[in-house]
């Protein structure tokens, strides 16, 4: 689901990127058993059942959007996708836009062989914006956390143009291999990838982590974009800070053919603008007002007073990263895709 907005500040375009198509998913009979999460005989998704889940998602997505049924759509999402989609609807509604439906092509499925919960799989799929534009490749993650849950879209992101091939390892019967959070066969164990990425996005090329992370739009580029905003804000006698930080949303990792991993995870970009020069406490001069970019205003409650001390903007971003094998000593971590939206605007 994509809403089109024309007033995003240029410096933020590199941060926000295109919103990934969002959707809802109907339960697919036969995808799993009703066994408990502690039962070793749980039947996980197969390549065939995963395809049925994906096809049901595409169909249900069209139905929800055609009927402008926001509540139905949100009720069938999970993870970071729920937060991002909710914000997308809020911005679209406030701006008088409709949340639109991209056209999807034939998916390539990466289904790990899982015998416990949570169960999940990934799909890459060509995505063409409904309003026109270049076809892109989306990576979607579908998740079923326990036996009582139905399959839902947990996260999504867009692969960068010209990004390297994912090269997920698939065995003879079509299964991929899921990696544990503390897997030591990759350069950075999967649960550390986000933290190292964030270090470079926060501190830039001078970061201690920079030598192991490839420069690009989501790493050093994110740092430069925020640094440019900080300079603009300083010219208005305010201060601006940013921090890319971890979330409680799950991450997912699959083995690649070179012994590395494809890792999908979600981060929060928290930015704060502070009025640095306020009038003296006894001064009768009016307090300055921190300007809210037009694209964010729909996320501010209509009854909220002007921001005169601080403005906080949080964005939720999902990332696609290639983590080299531990034996590839000189190979850097590559962040090759992203998707998300501004999800929170508050202040005083």
DSSP one-letter string for 190-238: HHHHHHHHHHHHHHGGGSTTGGGB--STTTHHHHHHHHHHHHHHHTTTE
pLDDT of 205: 95
Q: What is the DSSP letter of 327?
A: T
pLDDT in tens, 206-240: 999 999 999 999 999 999 999 998 998 888 778 89
Q: Which pLDDT does position 303 carry in this prediction?
A: 58
Nearest of 180, 145, 181 to residue 37 by alpha carbon: 145
Are residues 343 and 316 in contact, defined by beta-carbon separation less than 8 angstroms? yes
E strands, the chain, are 103-104, 108-112, 119-128, 136-144, 152-159, 175-176, 238-246, 252-255, 261-275, 310-323, 334-347
Q: Find, among 345, 311, 340, the residue nearest to 88 by Cα.
A: 340
- Per cent of the chain over pLDDT 90 is 55
Angle at 213 (CA atoms; ends 227, 21), nearest 5 degrees: 75
pLDDT, tens digit (0-9, with 9 covering 90-100), for 324-337: 999 998 999 999 99
Could you count the other beta carbons within 10 Å of the beta carbon of residue 84?
27
Tens-digit pLDDT profile for residues 126-158: 998 877 789 999 999 999 999 999 999 999 999
Query: What are the residue ranges spanned by the domains of the chain?
Result: 10-347
- Can you give the pLDDT at residue 73? 80
CA 151 to chain centroid, in Å, comes to: 18
For the chain, the straight-line distance linking the first and the last C-alpha, in angstroms and rounded, comes to 32
pLDDT of 323 reads: 98
What pLDDT does residue 7 have? Answer: 30
H or E element at residue 13? helix 10-16
What does the pLDDT read at residue 37? 34
Whole-structure pTM value: 0.83
> What is the spatial distance between Cα 109 and Cα 344, in angstroms, rounded to a whole number?
33
Cis peptide before 183 (omega within 30 of 0): no
pLDDT at 278 (0 to 100): 53
C-alpha separations of 125 from 240, 270, 299, 337 in Å: 37, 30, 30, 14
Low-confidence ranges of the chain (pLDDT < 50): 1-40, 285
- Annotate 90-103 with DSSP letters as a single string: HHHHHTTPPPB--E
User: In three state form, how does the secondary structure of 42-65 look?
Assistant: CCCCCHHHHHHHHHHHHHHHHHHH
Distances (CA, A) of 241 to 45, 228, 236, 279: 43, 11, 14, 22
pLDDT of residue 66: 84
- Residues with Cβ within 8 Å of 174's Cβ and at least 6 positions away in sequence, in order, are 46, 47, 111
Q: What is the pLDDT of residue 99?
A: 82
* The predicted structure's pLDDT at residue 290: 63
């Amino acid at each position: 689901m994509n809403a089109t907005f024309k007033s995003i500040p240029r410096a933020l375009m590199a941060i926000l990127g295109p919103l990934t198509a969002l959707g809802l998913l109907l339960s697919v009979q036969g995808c799993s058993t009703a066994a408990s999460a502690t039962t070793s005989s749980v039947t996980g998704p197969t390549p065939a059942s995963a395809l049925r889940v994906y096809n049901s998602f595409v169909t249900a997505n069209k139905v929800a959007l055609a009927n402008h049924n926001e509540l139905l759509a949100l009720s069938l999402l999970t993870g970071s996708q729920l937060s991002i989609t909710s914000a997308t609807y809020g911005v679209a509604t406030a701006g008088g836009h409709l949340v639109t439906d991209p056209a999807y092509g034939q998916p390539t499925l990466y289904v790990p062989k899982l015998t416990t919960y949570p169960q999940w799989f990934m799909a890459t799929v060509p995505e063409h914006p409904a309003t026109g534009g270049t076809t892109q490749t989306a990576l979607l993650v579908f998740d079923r956390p326990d036996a009582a849950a139905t399959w839902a879209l947990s996260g999504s992101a867009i692969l960068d143009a010209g990004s390297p091939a994912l090269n997920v390892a698939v065995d003879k019967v079509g299964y991929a291999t899921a990696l544990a959070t503390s897997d030591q066969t990759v350069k950075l164990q999967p649960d550390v990838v986000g933290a190292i990425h964030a270090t470079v996005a926060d501190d830039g090329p001078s970061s201690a982590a920079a030598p192991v992370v490839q420069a690009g739009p989501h790493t050093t580029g994110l740092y430069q974009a925020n640094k440019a905003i900080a300079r603009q804000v300083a010219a208005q006698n305010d201060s601006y800070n940013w921090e890319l930080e971890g979330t409680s949303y799950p991450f997912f990792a699959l083995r690649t053919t070179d012994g590395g991993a494809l890792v999908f995870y979600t981060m929060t970009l928290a930015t704060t603008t502070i009025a640095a020069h306020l009038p003296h406490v006894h001064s009768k001069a009016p307090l300055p007002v921190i300007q809210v970019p037009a694209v964010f205003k729909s996320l501010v409650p209509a009854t909220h007073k002007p921001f005169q001390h601080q403005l906080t903007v949080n964005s939720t971003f999902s990332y696609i990263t290639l983590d080299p094998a531990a034996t590839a000593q000189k190979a850097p971590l590559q962040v090759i895709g992203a998707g998300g939206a501004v999800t929170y605007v508050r202040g005083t």
